[in-house]
Amino acid sequence: MNHSIYSADRSTHLKIVVVALVAGIAVVGFGISARSTSGDYTQTARVIKAGKPVAISSSDASMVR
């Protein structure tokens, strides 16, 4: 058994790639199955109306942002 990735042979690298591929497919499969399947994808637009105009006056105070 190789304990270092640098000294690993071809079969060890292949095992790592296969395990990573299977794990990736499992994560994607879980994500697709966990998605809401209600079919209700309608979204309502919310309208934000402007309020009254505001007058801005100058001031000698410094503003810290």
Q: Are 17 and 11 in contact (CB under 8 A)?
A: no
Q: Are 41 and 34 in contact (CB under 8 A)?
A: no
The residue with greater pLDDT, 64 or 49, is: 49
The pLDDT assigned to 18 comes to 96
Q: What DSSP string describes 3-65? A: --STT--HHHHHHHHHHHHHHHHHHHHHHHHTS--S-----PPPP------------SSPPP-
Q: Are 9 and 2 in contact (CB under 8 A)?
A: yes
Q: Output the pTM of the full model.
A: 0.49
| Predicted confidence (pLDDT) at residue 26 exceeds the cutoff of 80 | yes
